[in-house]
């Protein structure tokens, strides 16, 4: 077969890819490119005929803006508390406990945790709002135990939304770790146990090293999901009070729409996208042997 | 010896059961609130036994304006986008799974990369772009964006499922003169039915619960899906009727929970997405 015919054949074979590629280019790559463009302009929502190019002004402004730095800090707290410490650790603990637990308890716990995960984001937001409100369930419980109650969404809003994210997102880690633990051949742990390794040592020296790849990929995915949480926080606190639960996505939204500065909001979005891309690249590295 | 081993094992099981039940109870509290409040005539924000049982909350919300129109909008939006996603993903997965090409690996890596990008970040530029090209506040525009945002993961998942269908069957069909599309439709798709349904249900569930995309791209109240219209209970209606809010949450959440049950059963309780995550 000559070169032309071969090229024609491979073109024909690639044809089914075209609808997907067109959609992805127009509606995903397009906006990302547009994002990279308007982040360098002073585009506003209203009262402006042409946006002009302002170079790095939006970024310079961001790093001098206390509210932005506050949002960066809160995003960090939100990510560390809810994804790294919360979802990841609790998910691993649940998966580990499930291997020893009796079947009905396993099914029940799995069912409840997964239901929290499957619920629509806004519904999850309302449920946790009700839970943390002054008149809500948490305080009613604390009263019963004669512990001091408080208005959680006012005093510790970032922790309240972080716990909400743990409630909503732990199922994913639990499923990933259950799958990973199930893949460890039973003989290895049994052999280690016969050799006298037990409890914590067995866990540190045998089990954890064997699932470290899953730990890596799970941490990456949790972090990426947590970076883009909007609806949950929006429903619970709108980023308030006084910006004390305003993570980067909410800050971006506020700048672009409440303050009508699309250019500035997009610059923040671009920073978020860059951070996300870095995590995403690390994630690809972790998976690289498998594609 | 055997006695101590089995008693240790029993002790461990008891400890594990206790730990899990404690976590389950903590996770169940917010869920209990929504279920109990939905049938409570005097619901407030606390979990409590209802003061009598009523279906009044459901009666109050099951009107075209509050429930049926938003749910229908959700169905059109998510159904349309899911259909588009699945069709494009099946078509795209086929050459990726079946033919060797130098471009496969870079394409798949790009897809995997896009899978984990924070889509939230691009909603502001998408809004600006949609205003420019006059797609803002249109259902079809929102469907197209929804489909594109779900596509990377759908293609990735679909390709993995398709890899599980043996190639020999198609090769036999090709020898008999079937075209690529014919063998895809007649041989590959029927064999990967469970895979297609997992991608379909998963895409649908993700979009059904998504708040930010329609919140940004749709403006007209009549077009809002349930994920956005639920906000009405809060902001604009003054007094919050918690019982009605709970009832609406139940009605809105039930379809996705049932759909999830459907696919998790189909996979024998196992979790295919976990496999997809590992690569």
For position B272, what pLDDT does the model report? 45
Residue ranges and CATH numbers for the domains of chain B are 72-225 (1.10.3720.10)
Q: Are residues A154 and A51 in the same domain?
A: no
Beta bridge partners of A41: A53
Average pLDDT, chain B: 85
Per-residue exposure over B228-261, b if at least 16 CB sit within 10 Å of its own CB, e if not:
bbbbbbeeeeeeebbbbbbbbbbbbbebbbebbe
**Length of chain B counted residue by residue:** 279
Instruction: Please give the Cα distance from B173 to B185 (Å, whole number).
Output: 12
Average pLDDT over residues A14-34: 91
Residues of A in contact with B121 (CB under 8 A): 35, 227-228, 249, 252, 269-270, 272-273, 276
Q: Tens digits of per-residue pLDDT, B115-146? A: 888 889 899 999 989 998 899 999 999 999 99
Instruction: Please give the Cα distance from A44 to A259 (Å, whole number).
Output: 9
Average pLDDT over residues A178-201: 79
Q: Tens digits of per-residue pLDDT, B88-108? A: 999 999 989 888 888 888 898
Q: Are residues A119 and A242 in the same domain?
A: yes
Q: Are residues A71 and A55 in the same domain?
A: no
* SS3 sequence of A3-35: HHHHHHHHHHHHHHHHHHHHHHHHHHHHHHHHH
For residue A240, the 8-state DSSP code is -
Q: Are residues A15 and A151 in the same domain?
A: no
Token pair belonging to A203: 């866990």
How many CB pairs (< 8 A) connect A and B?
290
Torsion over CA of B77, B78, B84 and B88, rounded to 10 degrees? 150
Last residue of a domain, one of A29, A59, A89: A59
pTM: 0.89
Q: Are residues A34 and A134 in the same domain?
A: no
Instruction: Please give the Cα distance from A171 to A168 (Å, whole number).
Output: 7
Q: Is the dihedral of CA B220, B138, B260, B148 positive or negative?
A: negative
Contact yes or no for B119 and A270 at CB 8 A: no
Last residue of a domain, one of A59, A74, A106: A59
Q: Tens digits of per-residue pLDDT, B197-230? A: 989 998 999 999 999 999 999 998 889 999 998 8
The boundaries of the domain holding residue A85 are 64-287
Which CATH number is A198's domain given?
Answer: 1.10.3720.10
Instruction: Please give the Cα distance from B203 to A268 (Å, whole number).
Output: 28
Instruction: Please give the Cα distance from A254 to A135 (Å, whole number).
Output: 29
Q: Are residues A34 and A148 in the same domain?
A: no
Contact yes or no for A131 and B96 at CB 8 A: no
Residues of A in contact with B125 (CB under 8 A): 31-32, 34-35, 38, 266, 269
Å from B122 to nearest chain A CA? 6
Contact yes or no for B211 and A131 at CB 8 A: no
What is the predicted ipTM? 0.88
Q: Which residue of A has its CA nearest to B235?
A: A235
Confidence check: pLDDT of A274 > 80: yes
Interface test with B, best of A126, A138, A166, A251 (most B CBs within 10 A): A126
Instruction: Please give the Cα distance from A131 to B69 (Å, whole number).
Output: 29
| Closest alpha carbon to B47 in B21, B27, B29, B22 | B29
Q: Are A128 and A234 in contact (CB under 8 A)?
A: no
Last residue of a domain, one of A33, A59, A85: A59
Average pLDDT over residues A155-182: 92
For position B279, what pLDDT does the model report? 35
Contact yes or no for B212 and A230 at CB 8 A: yes
């Amino acid at each position: 077969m000559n070169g032309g015919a071969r090229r024609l054949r491979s073109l024909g074979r690639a044809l089914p890819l075209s609808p997907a590629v067109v959609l992805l280019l127009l509606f995903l790559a397009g906006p990302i490119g547009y994002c990279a463009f308007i982040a360098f302009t002073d585009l506003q929502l209203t009262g402006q005929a042409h946006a002009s190019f302002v170079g790095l002004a939006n970024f310079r402004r961001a790093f001098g803006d206390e509210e932005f730095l506050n949002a960066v800090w809160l995003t960090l707290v939100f990510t560390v508390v809810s994804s790294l410490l919360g979802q990841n650790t609790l998910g691993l603990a649940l998966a580990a406990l499930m291997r020893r637990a009796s079947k009905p308890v396993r099914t029940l716990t799995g069912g409840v945790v997964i239901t929290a995960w499957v619920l629509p984001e806004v519904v999850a937001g309302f449920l946790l709002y009700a839970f943390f409100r002054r008149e809500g369930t948490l305080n009613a419980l604390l009263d019963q135990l004669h512990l001091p109650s408080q208005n959680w969404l006012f005093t510790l809003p970032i922790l309240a939304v972080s716990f909400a994210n743990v409630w909503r997102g732990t199922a994913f880690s639990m499923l990933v770790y259950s799958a990973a633990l199930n893949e460890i051949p039973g003989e290895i742990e049994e052999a280690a146990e016969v050799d006298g390794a037990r409890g914590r040592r067995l866990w540190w020296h045998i089990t954890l090293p064997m699932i470290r790849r899953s730990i890596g990929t799970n941490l990456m995915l949790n972090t990426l999901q947590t970076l883009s949480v909007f609806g949950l926080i929006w429903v619970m606190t709108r980023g308030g009070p006084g910006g004390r639960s305003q993570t980067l996505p909410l800050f971006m939204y506020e700048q672009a729409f409440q303050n009508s500065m699309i250019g500035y909001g997009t610059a923040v979005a671009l920073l978020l996208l860059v951070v996300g891309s870095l995590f995403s690249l690390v994630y690809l590295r972790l998976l690289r042997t498998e594609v | 010896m055997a006695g101590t081993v089995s008693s240790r094992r029993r002790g461990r099981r008891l400890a594990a059961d206790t730990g899990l039940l404690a976590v389950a109870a903590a996770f169940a509290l917010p869920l209990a609130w929504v279920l109990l409040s939905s049938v409570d005539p005097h619901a407030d924000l606390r979990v409590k036994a209802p003061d009598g049982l009523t279906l009044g909350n459901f009666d109050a919300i099951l009107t075209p304006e509050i429930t049926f129109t938003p749910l229908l909008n959700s169905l059109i939006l998510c159904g349309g986008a899911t259909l588009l996603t699945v069709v494009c993903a099946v078509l795209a997965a086929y050459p990726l799974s079946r033919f060797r090409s130098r471009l496969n690996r870079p394409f798949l890596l790009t897809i995997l990369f896009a899978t984990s990008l924070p889509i939230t970040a691009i909603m502001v530029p998408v809004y600006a772009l949609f205003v420019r090209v006059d797609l803002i506040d249109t259902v079809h525009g929102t469907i197209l964006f929804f489909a594109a945002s779900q596509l990377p993961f759908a293609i990735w998942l679909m390709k993995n499922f398709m890899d599980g269908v043996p190639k020999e069957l198609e090769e036999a069909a090709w020898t008999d003169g079937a075209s690529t599309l014919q063998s895809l439709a007649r041989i590959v798709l029927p064999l990967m039915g469970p895979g297609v349904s997992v991608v379909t249900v998963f895409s649908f569930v993700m979009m059904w619960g998504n708040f930010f995309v329609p919140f940004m791209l749709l403006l007209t109240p009549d077009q809002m899906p349930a994920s956005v219209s639920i906000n009405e209970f809060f902001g604009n209606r003054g007094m919050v009727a918690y019982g009605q809010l709970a009832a609406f949450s139940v009605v809105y959440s039930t379809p996705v929970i049932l759909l999830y049950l459907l696919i998790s059963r189909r996979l024998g309780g196992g979790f295919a997405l976990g496999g997809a995550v590992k690569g």
